[in-house]
Structure 1
């Protein structure tokens, strides 16, 4: 869909539909009051009749409003003004987008950017409107033989602002929002594909396709023979039960100075997780196609960074494999040697994500990174602890943790920090190897991160457990594209700090 920004009063806009906010109880916003005046009190009369109370997300479509150029006016409830926060603003933008798409208006001008949302500026509001609109209108239909076609879907949305002097700021928000929304969409598309299509080889081909878009990105793919030479016994132990060869996908984006140390993003790419010999229950096992959403988020973030041409050096590492039972599959009790030389007793083959990540994290050290962030649908314990609202965050550097928390808050893609205390490390003790791959039922998210921390001692590192936020269940089942907004905002913040230092 096309997005644009404009300035000007609502009554002069020639458009198929104007979008105007209404606060509870039945109180027009500033743009609404201007429009009401031009319409001779028409909007106020409708509100007095009780057609719209103004509760958050309510909509009312009006035709033939007198005294204006627009063909339609969409009134959108915004709740009580004092209670309007970031989440409600996104919900309001999504409700407006969905109603517009059903209205027959293929283009519209929205005045929702005037809504006061705490201390959030115009750039944020423009960006969130775009992202919320794209999220609300996303449909995964590429595998349907017959696609639903709307007669006149929404194709263009113009976001109106009060002053022309703010156009540059609004356009910046628009550019950021478009790049992030594109990255989120790509991550969702990959996550929603079934395991028989989205294989490790398919992920590798998607990375190569992204690299063909720009000379700034290089992609290399290590095959299993190459991984064997590097001693990646942990990663390869997971792939033993699959007929799909594992891949280690390495992306390099060079947008910063030649000698600047990169940020490395490591994404778990288990394209289907049956649990291996420690077989999962059959219920909802189809959702284990989403176990590669960490990898999808890394690719989506690279796309957003490329679209914005950020001045940063970025490395992406994606260990990709299936986890299936087979006569060759790893067994509980097996001991494997990781690339770092540390040995691991596999007590549960369904704790496979940390096995492929530990070798990828060791490999990341070759790039002498300034920072490493791994992204993984790692533990069901994180879902129990945080639900579907926040990703779990654990880090060996508090400044890095704080930066990621701030980025998530700004991007409306929140994380919550959990402890990474030494006290938990003893739960990984093994009688037969340097460590076990699980630490028991207690503190499962934390002990999984403790395991990974043993391979990240040479650099600043953070772990994002996205098991609760990477996809939705039930009627809305599907990938979310998170945490592409959080990761991209973190990189934007890094670039902004570097620019200020140079200034």
Structure 2
């Protein structure tokens, strides 16, 4: 991973191979941003900028060689748009674009001026984690099974974050560490999701959880295997797993703060390591990426991989319902009835609506363990992608204060979420004629599948404050973006770490 250092100066004599300069959409400000350069370089660069019609528009890139101070040196300008519109995400994206441009040009060390332009009411310390995220996430790629480097791109070896205010520089080291922590958690989750399902089975998820607990004294891990799940009545998880040769598990990670805390937050992740749809089998092209159906569980593991470093003041639990959803002679069939952990019964009318079944057991288990709040993450519904597109998670819940805190953390992380309603009039659509509930809506043609999926889970929450995050879209990127790679994104990890930090 790129080494990131702090420097209290910004001039044309830095010992780096290049400069990354964020410039707003303002001709005067562009000139001001470049005033540190040698006058001959500046004159040539300004002329070239005009010739190329670079204006500092959001996401605009301009790369040019410098020659006065060091051979092979390069300056990379990244447009950040109008000053009034600058956000944390603007700077995160700019850092990602600059880093990728530097790597493509063979630049090994790159200097960033971190506080030339800031969002309203923010300081350098506030934006440094965002810039660090942009730098590091933009270089993430999962090439484990590639026989050679296709693009011959050289990773950035060192990034120098420059800030001339010496009083503030001392606090920036911690800000860098925060950014690195957010990234490491997201990358760990992404690695798990990107792996083939043949390599990430429920048992492998158990091993990862146990490894995390062994590294940190404040984290413990308990696991319920198939025998214990049967004994304790986890009928929904066992039902989903029935068609697979891979045994199911319920993973329970616990973080205990140094000072005793009365609050307990439960993070619950859907851990379907492969989802064929079961007997209600998916079409072939809908099954290609279904190794990513455990992205919610991976996010919980990503959070716990960093939680001891974050050191929140409250007790945090991570629950992962891990199994496969496969068709076979032993698989559950449409029309079967399962008994959940809380003794409620569910008529399974579509075996491809399995995520809500395992979450029902996992959330009921969290309630039974006296959770003060529950946050679940799941690649739950294609309907959420229809409603919000591939980049935005659906946010549901019963406690507006909790939802507001999650949304604030998500906005800071640049992970887009939008609150959707838990429409009470739709609850009757999830009532069964022969059991307490059905796992799909009685009238599928009317739509609202993301809402009815959330309403189903709500039946297993009781009165506990609860948030449900449907990450079906943003957990998997269909193309490269400013600082994210195609494939797994680790969505939710950076939001939840920020959320826990503020509790």
CA apart distance, 1:47: 2.6
Alpha-carbon separation, structure 2, partners of 1:51 and 1:259: 58
**Aligned mate of 2:389, from 365, 387, 390:** 387
Alpha-carbon separation, structure 2, partners of 1:141 and 1:175: 26
Q: Residue 465 in 1 paired to residue 462 in 2? A: no
Aligned to 2:452: 447
CA apart distance, 1:147: 4.1
Residue aligned with 2:332, SS: coil
Aligned to 1:106: 108
Residue aligned with 2:162, SS: strand
Residue aligned with 1:34, SS: coil
CA apart distance, 1:346: 0.5
Alpha-carbon separation, structure 1, partners of 2:227 and 2:376: 24
Contact 2:266 2:371 in 1 (8 A): yes
Alpha-carbon separation, structure 2, partners of 1:414 and 1:50: 33
1:57-96 aligned within 5 A: 57-66=59-68, 71-96=73-98
Residue aligned with 1:297, SS: helix
CA distances 1:368-416 after superposition (whole Å, capped 9, x unpaired): 2221111100111111111123211111111111111111112211211
CA distances 1:285-339 after superposition (whole Å, capped 9, x unpaired): 1111110000010011112322323333110000000000000000000011111
Alpha-carbon separation, structure 2, partners of 1:38 and 1:214: 55
Contact 2:22 2:79 in 1 (8 A): yes
Aligned to 2:490: 481
Segment drifting more, 412-421 vs 57-66? 57-66
CA apart distance, 1:38: 8.5
What is the TM-score with the length of structure 1 in the denominator?
Answer: 0.93
CA distances 1:451-471 after superposition (whole Å, capped 9, x unpaired): 111111142111111111110
Segment drifting more, 450-459 vs 304-313? 304-313
CA distances 1:90-121 after superposition (whole Å, capped 9, x unpaired): 32211101011122221111114322334443
Q: Which blocks of at least 5 consecutive residues in structure 2 are unaligned?
A: none
Alpha-carbon separation, structure 1, partners of 2:10 and 2:72: 12
Q: Residue 424 in 1 paired to residue 426 in 2? A: yes
Aligned to 1:21: 22
Q: Residue 145 in 1 paired to residue 154 in 2? A: no
Alpha-carbon separation, structure 2, partners of 1:29 and 1:314: 49
Aligned to 1:490: 499
1:366-385 aligned within 5 A: 366-385=368-387
Contact 2:89 2:412 in 1 (8 A): no
Alpha-carbon separation, structure 1, partners of 2:321 and 2:42: 64
Contact 2:310 2:501 in 1 (8 A): no
1:69-468 aligned within 5 A: 71-148=73-150, 150=152, 152-439=154-441, 440-441=443-444, 442-468=447-473
Alpha-carbon separation, structure 2, partners of 1:83 and 1:401: 25
Q: Per the alignment, do residues 29 and 207 of structure 1 end up closer, same or farther by CA in structure 2, a change over 3 Å counting?
A: farther
Contact 1:42 1:65 in 2 (8 A): no
Segment drifting more, 37-46 vs 315-324? 37-46
Q: Per the alignment, do residues 239 and 99 of structure 1 end up closer, same or farther by CA in structure 2, a change over 3 Å counting?
A: same
CA apart distance, 1:446: 1.2
Alpha-carbon separation, structure 2, partners of 1:40 and 1:60: 14
What is the TM-score with the length of structure 2 in the denominator?
Answer: 0.93
Q: Per the alignment, do residues 456 and 256 of structure 1 end up closer, same or farther by CA in structure 2, a change over 3 Å counting?
A: farther
Contact 1:65 1:73 in 2 (8 A): no
Q: Per the alignment, do residues 407 and 16 of structure 1 end up closer, same or farther by CA in structure 2, a change over 3 Å counting?
A: same
Alpha-carbon separation, structure 2, partners of 1:66 and 1:229: 75
Alpha-carbon separation, structure 1, partners of 2:13 and 2:66: 15
Alpha-carbon separation, structure 2, partners of 1:449 and 1:40: 57
Q: Per the alignment, do residues 256 and 373 of structure 1 end up closer, same or farther by CA in structure 2, a change over 3 Å counting?
A: farther
Contact 2:242 2:332 in 1 (8 A): yes
Contact 1:21 1:29 in 2 (8 A): no
Aligned to 1:501: none
Contact 1:241 1:323 in 2 (8 A): yes
Aligned to 1:498: none
Segment drifting more, 299-308 vs 235-244? 299-308
CA apart distance, 1:16: 1.5
- Supply the RMSD in Å over aligned alpha carbons: 2.2
CA apart distance, 1:62: 3.2
Residue aligned with 1:361, SS: helix
CA apart distance, 1:148: 4.9
Q: Per the alignment, do residues 177 and 40 of structure 1 end up closer, same or farther by CA in structure 2, a change over 3 Å counting?
A: closer
Residue aligned with 2:115, SS: helix
Contact 1:23 1:29 in 2 (8 A): no
Segment drifting more, 249-258 vs 91-100? 249-258
CA apart distance, 1:37: 5.0
Contact 1:36 1:44 in 2 (8 A): no
